[in-house]
Amino acid sequence: MQSAVPELAHTHTRPIQWVATATAVAGVVALSSVLQPDPATAAQPAAPRTGSVPAAAAPATTGVDFPLQCGRVKALVQKQASGDLDGDGIPETVAVVHCDAPMGTPPDGVYVLTRGADAAHARVVATLVDPQDRLTVTALSVDDGAVLATFLGYSSADVPSCCPDVKDSAKWRWKDHAFVRSTPAGTHSV
């Protein structure tokens, strides 16, 4: 019995055919790695423009030499707030700092920091509250270019440090190359 379909030569592979196929595939792969398409040139959507330079980071309080006499203990930053205080578009940092005393409540100092000449370190440019004023800052914020603080203090030098008897608040705003203090709320006893 014979087959209805004659035997075709191409239905039987020979080793030379495999070598030829492998060579052709290798040539295509090699050629495709040399001939690459041009980079895409479609227009990309532009980033939204805000019309301003990216915001600079506020100065950090680490490594700052605060004007405190702490003896054997270090200066401790209790609170901080940041914002542009002088209208130059670069934020400043306001820090509440006191000596890290092991006992009692040491008085706070409030300092304004700006970037140093090397931009890696900050420097103190103003003292808003001196620790010699014997105040404890309970709240601190920067709002619309003004520094706002609430603090506890003493009506006289005779009042013991344990028991502040005055609660006060203050507002400082940069004006004519200096921070000018105003009192948004009246002083009252606690």
Contact between 122 and 60 (Cβ < 8 Å): yes
H/E stretch holding 19: helix 15-34
Over residues 131-185, the pLDDT tens digits come to 999 999 999 999 999 999 999 999 998 988 888 999 999 999 999 989 999 976 5
Average pLDDT, the chain: 79
Distances (CA, A) of 91 to 50, 81, 112: 18, 10, 11
Phi, psi of 152 (to 5 degrees): -105, 140
Contact between 96 and 113 (Cβ < 8 Å): no
pLDDT at 98: 95
Contact between 119 and 172 (Cβ < 8 Å): no
pLDDT at 40: 45
pLDDT at 104: 77
pLDDT at 129: 95
Is the confidence at residue 113, as pLDDT, over 60?
yes
Instruction: Name the band, by pLDDT with cuts 50, 70 and 90, for residue 51.
Output: very low
- Mean pLDDT throughout 23-37? 59
55-68 residues labelled b (16+ CB within 10 A) or e (exposed): eeebbbbeebebeb
User: Which residue would you say has higher pLDDT here, 11 or 58?
Assistant: 58
User: Which residue would you say has higher pLDDT here, 126 or 30?
Assistant: 126
Rg (CA), the chain: 37
